[in-house]
């Protein structure tokens, strides 16, 4: 089978894996309501948490992250190492634009982390460390995700290769686009902080980006 065909198959499989809306599925199975009608309507774990079901939110986070990891590993071991990077892009886009939800998905942070874990594990560690440090200093979840996603490609390029770093940088650009409303609120000083109990937090939380999206 030609390399082009293998890459095509890897991309299709990865996209379909990325399209699995764990938040929607889990909240429906366990009777936590229709996720699209709750809070921001986002399919990520942050919105699942608004149902009051912390376990479901944690499961959504893990599912959204591991589907990114699984897509790259399946591509690598089933279709060949040359399909790793195309699969990484496809699973990330699958989460953002899932075919099952009329192409309206999440913001991609958890899946981004899962992809980084599969491509360059130390880059995923750098992401997590950067996120934790930034959130400790600022208490802005969205800012932490943005900062972490900037650090990750450079760590990947340094410890692995420029191609993996380049793909992660491309995903970083897309991730920043999905967080454009958060960026506007950060610049305006109206983005909600973690743990704050005010109107700004409620508004920011309804559409805010975090590692759980």
Six-digit token pair at 33?
Answer: 């309501």
pLDDT recorded at residue 213: 55
**Which residues are CB-neighbours of 22 under 8 A, at least 6 positions away?**
43, 59, 60, 63, 64, 67
Q: Cα–Cα distance between 11 and 6 in angstroms, integer?
A: 9
pLDDT recorded at residue 212: 44
pLDDT recorded at residue 195: 64
Six-digit token pair at 170?
Answer: 């491309």
pLDDT recorded at residue 16: 97
Rg of the chain taking only CA atoms, in angstroms:
17
What's the distance, CA 171 to chain centroid? 10
User: Which of 164, 208, 165, 170 has its CA nearest to residue 186?
Assistant: 208
Q: Find out whether 141 and 149 touch, Cβ atoms under 8 Å.
A: no
User: Which of 8, 5, 50, 10 has its CA nearest to residue 27?
Assistant: 50
Q: Find out whether 181 and 14 touch, Cβ atoms under 8 Å.
A: no
| Every domain of the chain and the residues it spans | 3-207
**Regions in the chain scoring below 70 on pLDDT:** 39-41, 195-213
pLDDT recorded at residue 185: 92
Q: pLDDT tens, 167-211? A: 999 999 999 999 999 999 999 999 878 766 544 433 333 334 444
pLDDT recorded at residue 164: 97
Q: How far is CA 150 from CA 118, 196, 199, in A?
A: 18, 26, 29
pLDDT recorded at residue 143: 95
Q: Cα–Cα distance between 76 and 90 in angstroms, integer?
A: 14
Q: Cα–Cα distance between 164 and 42 in angstroms, integer?
A: 28
């Amino acid at each position: 089978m030609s390399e082009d065909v293998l890459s095509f198959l890897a991309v299709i499989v990865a996209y379909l894996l990325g399209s699995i809306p764990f938040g929607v599925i889990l909240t429906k199975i366990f009777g936590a309501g229709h996720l699209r009608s709750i809070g921001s309507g986002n399919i990520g774990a942050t919105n699942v948490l608004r149902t009051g079901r912390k376990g479901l939110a944690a499961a959504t986070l893990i599912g959204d992250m591991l589907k990114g990891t699984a897509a790259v590993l399946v591509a690598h071991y089933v279709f060949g190492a040359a399909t790793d990077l195309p699969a990484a892009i496809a699973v990330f886009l699958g989460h953002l634009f899932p075919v099952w939800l009329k192409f309206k998905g999440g913001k991609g942070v958890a899946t981004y982390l899962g992809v980084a874990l599969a491509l360059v594990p130390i880059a995923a560690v750098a992401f997590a460390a950067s996120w934790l440090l930034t959130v400790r200093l600022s208490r802005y979840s969205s800012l932490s995700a943005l900062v972490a996603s900037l650090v990750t490609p450079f760590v990947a390029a340094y410890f692995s290769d420029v191609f993996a770093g380049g793909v992660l940088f491309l995903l970083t650009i897309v991730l920043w686009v999905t967080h454009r409303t958060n960026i506007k609120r950060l610049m305006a000083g109206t983005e909600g902080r973690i743990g704050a109990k005010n109107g700004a937090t409620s508004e920011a939380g309804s559409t805010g980006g975090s590692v759980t999206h």
